[in-house]
Chain A
Amino acid sequence: MLIALLQAIVSGLAVGSAYALIALGFSITFTTTKTLNFSHGDFVSVGAFIGVSILWLLLGKPINSPLSGVSIANWQHLAAALGSVIVIGCLGILLYFLAVRPFAGKPGMSWVMSTIGFGIILTSLGLAVWGPSQVVVPSPVGDDVIRIAGIGIRPQEILMFVVAVIIMVAIDLTMRRTMVGKAMRAVAHDRRVASLMGINVTAFMVGAFFLSSALAGLSGALIAPIASASLYVGLGIALKGFSGAIVGGLSNPRGCVLGGFALGVLESLVNLWQAQWREIVVFLLVILVLALRPHGLLGQHTVEKV
């Protein structure tokens, strides 16, 4: 029983690191532009496929050919991951100009619809290129399960966790210790004043969307060896990342990351008890948290001056 519990917590932390990356991405765009990318999930799915496509390209194989058993060099894996980070990041810039910029800061939250629309277009294009089937992706660190004290861990899970934590610590340090981070928080606080202080607000907003989307691409590339690449894998991950961000508090990047991890563990524990109730419990929890603490557990409550 204890082993099962520990196992659940460990796998929860692994999948939670993907949620945390997504949650951090949401937090970055929300704090700088007060908007969110509702097609984040599609970015994750497409990110996974961009990675796989780069592998196909580097190996000289046709699209949708099986990859299991093929020997792939480490630099090829690295190139695939970097490629998907950059391509999805650039997609984020496109999204900003097409779907967010025309509506940001205006009443009516039209950006919710336009970003959803962007995602639907992206997915249908993806379906045209890659088709609806799943692609098994080999992990750069091998697929043999490691056993520690009776708990089985896949090497890719460790890799994902480590990479995610490194990235998140790096972003946290940048936000808190550097001038860029300060400028970013200034833009978040009041874009007009930030602009008067000589900060190029548009550049920061574009940067925020690049970074946020790049994180989606990264989590897609990282999770593909665990969950297989599929155009339907992203929505669930992004929704849970979003839930993690909401639970932790969108305005607080650290809260978002913790929320992502917490949600991963919770989901994994519910899974232990009743697999089919997983999503239902998670989302009911989100609704409950919002009803009790509207700005998340660690979010800041802002008072509007009347």
Chain B
Amino acid sequence: MRAPHLLMVVAIAGGAALLALLIDNDYYLRILFMMGVYYLCAAGMNVLVGYAGQKSLGQAGLFAAGAYTAALLTTSFDLNPWLALGAAAIAAGACGVLIAWPSLRVRGPYLAMVTLAFGIVVEKLVSEWTEVFGGADGIYGIKSLAIFGTPFGMLQWVWFVIALGVVTHLLLRNLLSGRFGRAFLSLQADEIAAESVGVSVYKYKILAFVIAAVTCGVAGAIVAQQNQYLNSDFISFNLSIFILLLVLFGGAGNQYGPLVGAILLTLIDAQLAKWPSIQHFVYGALLLFSLYLMPNGVAGLIKQLLGSRGHTPSVRSKSKSVVAANFETASDSRHPLLDVDTVSKHFGGVRPAQDVSFRLQWGHVHALIGPNGAGKSTMINMITGVLTPTAGRITFVGQNIGGAESHVICRLGIGRTFQNLRLFAGLSVLENVLLGQHCRMKNGFWASLFALPSSIREEAAAQERAWAILDVVGLTDLAMSAAGSLPYGLQRRVELARALATEPKLLLLDEPAAGLNPQETAELGKLIVKISKLGITILMVEHHMDLVMSISDHVVVLDYGIKIAEGTPSIIQADKRVIEAYLGAEAA
């Protein structure tokens, strides 16, 4: 796939560059230039909106950050324009961190409001703080980029944005096609599940905002340097909306969406510039109806019309290496695997855990049972960092994990499934399992961005392991189906596969048999035993007593947040308090 794609990109870019050479008209060259500029904005914005699923209504603020940095540095400080362009990218990136910071705590409409407010603050700042930003009068004499001392002409500018666009496209493609792209998509699908497979939601949200900020800032700087003039009229709410529209109209989450959006909207914009009132009307109509008629944008529509299913099964690994090789969890005899020590949790007056203590042994199958409302899921959630214990210590292989973040706990070696399935429904089964591998992959941001050999190697290794795990749970034939489209029982297995892919020492299963029929339950039992034989310790919360009693080595019983018994299944079955808890006390 790589070589033809590269050829196609070179052909398109070369065609555009040649076209620019043939055009002898500054007006048309300018349209080409603006296409390039808007493509840059949209390409980064696509990472934020289309992949990470965060709406930003304040991109004009980031555009301004880049534009004014370049403008001020080349005028007031007489800096080299190339250095100023670099500085603009950094300044915009810093502003990206600034808006991302509240996004770590707020979601949905609140986040839209924060970004909107940021855009307005910047707009007001540049238009009203005239001593620094020149307001509506603007800043003159911004230095154009130059080569060998000659400032760029319009043709060079067009070539420059084309080159920049190609580089941006290729880099983002590298980044999004592997580990990072999947992590962004997981944020959009389900943040809690993303944390549970080791994706740091905070880190990836900030990263997405910074990527969008940097491309927007560079675009702003280029516009300022090309015009050699900048005033506050350019920075408006309309620009923020336009940048968002580029992505949504073009096709969010589609690699080619930003390009399609930039080309079409720049053309529409140029055509309608003569009639401003109609222009706004058209934008309004596009915003209102395009999402309705083409939820995946123009690029999505084209894809649909061409009928390409997008996913062709990628090369299956030849060697189905035995999955056991991945799970050599050397047991560390100095520490118990998990030590829950007098842990309590209070929600106001509700106390789903009161001084609960138990230990898990390496290699055993443990079960946590109890009537409804006994605090079993609360316990699982505290062990995996979704909830913080009110009191007590949870120690995993000698390390205190009480209150640690979920993604850290996942990395330490605790995998989990959820009581109410939390799959990344829109992603394929294979991608779900690959996300499980996220925390075990070592390729960092730069390696992925430049597709360094280490990153390609990691991706290949992860693919191989994912296929091996799919083989263990018997899902190889469905690897390319969307996880959300599978029947319930299979979805449960996908979630199990995803948890296994995190290569856990301890696997927590929260009601794995819920909703399964007797046959499926029996198969699940066999699967759990199989997993246990790979050397993974299991703690499951379950109501199916047949399953619990037949496969567990050790059972802990909770009732109203208090541990009332623990021991082997036979001891539990004979325990008076357990029988009372389930069946009620005999009338005395």
Contact = CB atoms under 8 A, between A and B. Distances in A.
A284 B121 contact: yes
Contacts of B117: 239, 243, 283-284, 286-287
Contact of A124 (B125, B284, B420): B284
B118 A287 contact: yes
A280 B277 contact: no
A276 B128 contact: yes
Given A279-B121, A306-B192, A306-B418, A290 B288 contact: no
Contacts of A124: 277-278, 280-281, 284
Contact of A290 (B110, B125, B188): B110
B280 A120 contact: yes
Given A110-B291, A113-B244, A284-B121, A290 B105 contact: yes
Interface of B: 53, 55, 57, 101-102, 105-110, 112-114, 116-118, 120-121, 124-125, 128-129, 188, 192, 237, 241, 244-245, 248, 277-278, 280-281, 283-289, 291-292, 295, 377, 381, 386, 418-420, 422
Contacts of B55: 109, 112
A114 B114 CA distance: 19
B283 A239 contact: no
B114 A279 contact: no
A54 to B, nearest CB: 24
A121 interface: yes
B512 to A, nearest CB: 15
B interface secondary structure, majority: helix
B292 A121 contact: no
A15 to B, nearest CB: 18
Nearest to B125: A280
Given A108-B53, A290-B106, A294-B105, A103 B291 contact: yes
Contacts of B422: 306
Contacts of A109: 55, 108-109, 112
B419 to A, nearest CB: 8
A47 to B, nearest CB: 18
B404 to A, nearest CB: 16
B102 A287 contact: yes
Nearest to A304: B192
Contacts of B102: 287, 290-291
Given A118-B288, A276-B128, A306-B381, A112 B113 contact: no
User: What are the 8 closest A-B residue pairs judged by CB atoms, nearest first?
Assistant: A117-B287, A120-B284, A117-B288, A121-B284, A283-B117, A124-B281, A276-B128, A294-B105
A287 B114 contact: yes
B465 to A, nearest CB: 27
Contact of A279 (B120, B285, B288): B120
A112 B110 CA distance: 11
15 contacts: A36-B109, A103-B291, A107-B53, A109-B108, A113-B287, A117-B289, A120-B241, A120-B281, A125-B281, A276-B124, A276-B129, A291-B102, A291-B105, A294-B105, A306-B386
B284 A119 contact: yes
A305 B283 CA distance: 40
A195 B369 CA distance: 35
Contact of B277 (A99, A107, A127): A127
A30 interface: yes
A31 interface: no
A221 interface: no
Given A110-B291, A117-B286, A120-B287, A279 B124 contact: yes
Given A112-B112, A124-B278, A287-B102, 6 more contacts: A30-B109, A121-B284, A121-B288, A280-B121, A291-B105, A294-B105
A6 interface: no
Contacts of B277: 124, 127-128
B47 to A, nearest CB: 16
Contacts of A38: 112
Interface centre among B113, B128, B129, B245 (most CB of A within 10 A): B113
Nearest to B286: A117
Contacts of A48: none
A116 B248 CA distance: 13
B280 A123 contact: yes
A30 B108 CA distance: 12
A205 interface: no
A117 B124 contact: no
Interface string A87-109: 00000000000110011000111
A235 B292 CA distance: 25
Given A284-B121, A291-B101, A120 B109 contact: no
A43 interface: no
A127 B192 CA distance: 46
Contacts of A35: 109
A99 B280 contact: no
Contacts of B192: 304, 306
